Amino acid sequence: MRVGLFVTCLVDLVRPSVGFAALELLEAAGCDVTVPATQTCCGQPGYNSGDREAAKALARKVIAEFEGFDYVVAPSGSCSGTIKTHYPHLFDDDRGMRERAERLAAKTYELTDFLASVAKLARVPGRFDGTVTYHDSCAGLREMGVKAQPRALLAKVPGLAVKEMATPEQCCGFGGTFSVKFGEVSAAIADRKCDDVEASGADALVLGDVGCMLNIEGRLRRRGNRKTKVLHVAEVLAGRDGRSE
Amino acid sequence: MQVQSMHFKARASEALADATLQANLHKFGSAGLAALRARAVVEYGAAEFEQLRDAAASIRDRGLDNLPALLERFEREATRRGATVLYARTGTEIRDLVLEIAARHGLKKAVKSKSMLSEEAALNDALQGAGVEPIETDLGEYIIQLAEEPPSHIIAPAVHKSKDEVSDLFVKFHATERKTDIPALTREAREVLRSHFLSADLGISGANFLIAETGTGAIVTNEGNGRMVTTLPRVHVSITGIEKVIPTLEDFATLMRVLTRSATGQPISNYVSVFTGPKGAGDADGPEHMYFILVDNGRTGLLGGEMQEMLRCIRCGACMNHCPVYKTVGGHSYGWVYPGPMGSVLTPSYVGLEKALDLPHAATLCNQCGVVCPVKIPLPDLLRTLREKQVDRGLRPPIERLALRAWAWAAQRPTVYALGTKFAARFLRMLGGGDRMVSHLPFAGGWTDGREFPSGPGRTFRELYAARKKR
């Protein structure tokens, strides 16, 4: 299986350990992984800001970089969701591009979905001694159908137990540029998520999107919580603590 | 109603600072209508409910695709049964028509059941000005009429008020002993409203649906006030949007199954009132005169365009009940008649893109609204389309446009991008200090006013990966 790893721009900039974790997991699942060196961003910031032309330009770039692989995998429901559910509509008026976008969409996966449903990863390299609570990031959940897959994989991690929070499907308030444009509202929404995370009593919050991680961890720390770890699901599965690059 | 949507940010900020409002919203968010809907869907069967949503969406689409023909059919059938059908293009025309009717029949007191169109038209002020006393009879609407506030939710207009705040209002306006339990408060309101029902000569209602094949209007209430309003006074005026017309009674039954479950989790509301023409020869009750005012007020502007799906809306409120932003800042922050996700699409569409620049952006695009919408309106997609329209019309701030252009330019050039992120990663790491947490981000204070920004290790994945490959 030739897999193109779409690292995502946030992982590249602030959380490289997620990229390495994804790479290790895919290789552990027996995939032949390539990380195209020219990749940058899927274009979602432009798309969600109303700049359709910028989004189309970046979509063309991603399609050209990744269409040669059997699968495209991203450690993010949000970025994989952009490729899978939104790219084809960007080219409603361009039949050739639309078909290429649809072909790419059909083989694009969120990491845990790919590991659980396609690669059927049997054993995970990681170990975690403690309890974790899982936040269902919106795009992963509602665009990519990611819900059972990360939990099934976490169940394979020795020493780990999942303690569900009350409303894991409730948005954390990140919303991309929303988090800066409406920072006050965004932080207030994140506050409720933090209440929920803390009430679960788990040692770590685990989730599958770096945007939401930055938001929730940023709010937890500002509230003075230094205790609850915030980890990407790939890091936990690969046995990384988020600082090991 | 005056459009205040340009002030979303300031109003949201006030809402966040209001401890009473926050407590009320929190209660609504944790134990409110969303939980009731979830239970109702499970009871109905999740898969069956999905089929029902498909059926409901397609009924609404059929209605909208044949709107002119359906309206003609409705008018013909309603007229045949003795009602008068009038059309209003704007809020002003609604007011003029209602005042004309009041003058023609010499009407002095109006009891009203919930009507969001009456809010669009600021009808109460106009009635008062013309010497017709308007009394809201939906309990929530009655409460906010006393408080002189607009509704903050389309089906639970006083959801932002606590029981104590209602007690205070009743003491002030009813001059009675203070009551603290909800049944006693409700009984007091019923007693006050009863005398208004009996003395009113005009009843004003909305209509949840107009049924073309019979010329019928239908409203859904839980308090029975709708039935009083539509049967007791000698003149009944039903005001509703032209998009509310549906083909048949059978369609009405299907939409009802999905409407009340989505709104309050009820299999059916306590009252479903259907009204077809005025009191007939053998009828025991009903108004002597009956009018339908069918309103455009911006709706035809959405027909046949990329925003048409919004016109499917059946006003259940599920989108706001599930919206993280609405549940945090409340309905008044949105600044016009309709709050939450549906309001953020409708307000700019009806009153003008430039009068509500913040609203399409005041959403995380989490799509919780889209997955619960009973008629499957793709609300996040419509919000995004409005964002695109803002860019196309040059309505975004220059600094935002510049930043986006610079980002898009660099992101298409891997070498430039790699260099930019290399410096950005180091800069963030430097700001982050020992605990790798940035407490103040230049150019993105919106983030760090309420949160830290986890800085990362100071090297991009790209750099670390290249170094690793060399080894």
Which residues of chain B lie closer than 8 angstroms to A169, CB-CB? 368
What does the alpha-carbon distance between residue A189 and residue B465 come to, in Å, rounded to a whole number? Answer: 35
- The pLDDT of residue A121: 96
Residue B147 and residue B288 in one domain = yes
Top residue of B461, B465, B468, B469 to mutate, by most chain A CBs within 10 Å, is B461
Task: Say if residue A57's pLDDT is above 80.
Answer: yes
Contact flag A138-B365 (C-beta cutoff 8 Å): yes
Tokens 């005009």 belong to: B202
Contact flag B417-A40 (C-beta cutoff 8 Å): yes
Residue B148 binned pLDDT confidence (cut-offs 50, 70, 90): very high
What does the alpha-carbon distance between residue B370 and residue B322 come to, in Å, rounded to a whole number? Answer: 10
Task: Say if residue B31's pLDDT is above 80.
Answer: no
CATH value at residue B63: 3.40.50.10420
- The pLDDT of residue A244: 62
- Please say whether the beta carbons of A152 and A21 come within 8 A: no
Residue B283 and residue B429 in one domain = no
Q: Domain for residue B313, yes or no?
A: no
A19 touches chain B (CB under 8 A): yes
Top residue of A18, A33, A41, A49 to mutate, by most chain B CBs within 10 Å, is A49
Tokens of A171: 């948005």
3-state helix, strand, coil in chain B (%, to 5): 55, 10, 30
A8 touches chain B (CB under 8 A): no
Nearest-Cα distance to chain B for A126, in Å, is 21
Residue A243 binned pLDDT confidence (cut-offs 50, 70, 90): confident
The residue length of chain A stands at 245
Residue B129 and residue B256 in one domain = yes
- Encode burial over A173-210: b for 16+ CB neighbours within 10 A, e otherwise: bbbbbbbbbbbbbbbbbbbbbbebbbebebbbbbbbbb
Contact flag B455-A14 (C-beta cutoff 8 Å): yes
Q: Between vectors from CA B373 to CA B91 and to CA B136, what angle results, nearest 5°? A: 40
A31, amino acid identity? C
Q: What residue of B is the nearest CA neighbor of A43?
A: B408
Contact flag B12-A182 (C-beta cutoff 8 Å): yes
Residue B44 and residue B159 in one domain = yes
Top residue of A6, A8, A9, A13 to mutate, by most chain B CBs within 10 Å, is A13
Task: Say if residue A145's pLDDT is above 70.
Answer: yes
Query: Partners of B295 in the beta sheet?
Result: B88, B241
Give tens-digit pLDDT for A81-106: 999 999 999 999 999 999 999 999 99
Q: What residue of A is the nearest CA neighbor of B442?
A: A180
Mind giving me the DSSP string for B254-288? HHHHHHHHHHHS-SS-SEEEEE-SS--TT-SS--S
Cβ contacts of B317 within 8 Å, gap of 6 or more:
B33, B153, B154, B155, B156, B262, B263, B340
Q: Domain for residue B120, yes or no?
A: yes
Whether A2-118 shares its CATH topology with A130-238 is answered yes
State the total domains in chain B. Answer: 2
Tokens 């209007």 belong to: B217
| Residue in A13, A54, A169 closest to B404 by CB | A54
Residue B443 binned pLDDT confidence (cut-offs 50, 70, 90): confident
Q: What residue of A is the nearest CA neighbor of B453?
A: A218
Which residues of chain A lie closer than 8 angstroms to B421, CB-CB? 9, 12-13
Average pLDDT over residues A210-235: 98
Cβ contacts of B259 within 8 Å, gap of 6 or more:
B208, B220, B314, B316, B374
Contact flag A50-B424 (C-beta cutoff 8 Å): no
Q: What is the ipTM of this complex?
A: 0.97
Contact flag A49-B455 (C-beta cutoff 8 Å): no
Q: Domain for residue B246, yes or no?
A: yes
Domain span holding position B457: 398-470
| Residue in A14, A139, A177 closest to B456 by CB | A14
Contact flag B412-A57 (C-beta cutoff 8 Å): yes
Domain end point (choices B270, B295, B320):
B295
- The pLDDT of residue A242: 75
Which residues of chain B lie closer than 8 angstroms to A54, CB-CB? 404-405, 407-408, 411
Residue A63 binned pLDDT confidence (cut-offs 50, 70, 90): very high
Q: What residue of A is the nearest CA neighbor of B385?
A: A50
CATH entry 3.40.50 includes domain A2-118:
yes
- The pLDDT of residue B96: 98
- The pLDDT of residue B470: 85
B286, amino acid identity? G
| Other residues' Cβ atoms within 10 Å of the Cβ of residue B416 | 13
Q: Report the first-to-last Cα separation within chain B, whole angstroms.
A: 68
Cβ contacts of B149 within 8 Å, gap of 6 or more:
B332
| Residues 112-131, chain A, touching B (beta carbon < 8 A) | none
- Please say whether the beta carbons of A15 and A76 come within 8 A: no
Our separate counts of H helices and E strands in chain B read: 22, 12
Domain end point (choices B295, B321, B346):
B295
- The pLDDT of residue B40: 97
Domain end point (choices B277, B295, B313):
B295
- Please say whether the beta carbons of B328 and A185 come within 8 A: yes
Tokens of B22: 């926050």
Q: Domain for residue B391, yes or no?
A: no
Largest Cα separation within chain A, whole Å, is 53
Q: Between vectors from CA B127 to CA B126 and to CA B130, what angle results, nearest 5°? A: 90
Average pLDDT over residues A149-168: 98
CATH of the domain spanning A130-238: 3.40.50
Q: Domain for residue B420, yes or no?
A: yes
Q: What is the strand order of the sheet B202-205 is part of?
A: B84-88, B289-295, B235-241, B202-205, B109-112, B133-136
Cβ contacts of A22 within 8 Å, gap of 6 or more:
A5, A7, A73, A75, A111, A234, A238
Task: Say if residue A245's pLDDT is above 70.
Answer: no
Q: What residue of B is the nearest CA neighbor of A220?
A: B451
Contact flag A41-B364 (C-beta cutoff 8 Å): no
Tokens of B468: 């690793």
Which residues of chain A lie closer than 8 angstroms to B7, CB-CB? none
Helix (H) or strand (E) holding A3: strand A2-5
Q: Where are the domains of chain A?
A: 2-118, 130-238
Q: Domain for residue B27, yes or no?
A: no
A221 touches chain B (CB under 8 A): yes
A145 touches chain B (CB under 8 A): no
Mind giving me the DSSP string for A46-106? HHHTT-HHHHHHHHHHHHHHHTTSSEEEES-HHHHHIIIIIHHHHTTT-HHHHHHHHHHHH
What does the alpha-carbon distance between residue A222 and residue A224 come to, in Å, rounded to a whole number? Answer: 5
Q: Domain for residue B461, yes or no?
A: yes
Contact flag A15-B388 (C-beta cutoff 8 Å): no
Nearest-Cα distance to chain B for A147, in Å, is 15
Q: What residue of A is the nearest CA neighbor of B390?
A: A50
- The pLDDT of residue B471: 75
A40 touches chain B (CB under 8 A): yes
Give tens-digit pLDDT for B275-329: 999 999 889 899 999 999 999 999 999 999 999 999 999 999 999 999 999 999 9
3-state helix, strand, coil in chain A (%, to 5): 50, 15, 35
Q: Domain for residue B70, yes or no?
A: yes
- Please say whether the beta carbons of A147 and A113 come within 8 A: no
Residue B260 and residue B403 in one domain = no
Tokens of A245: 């690059």
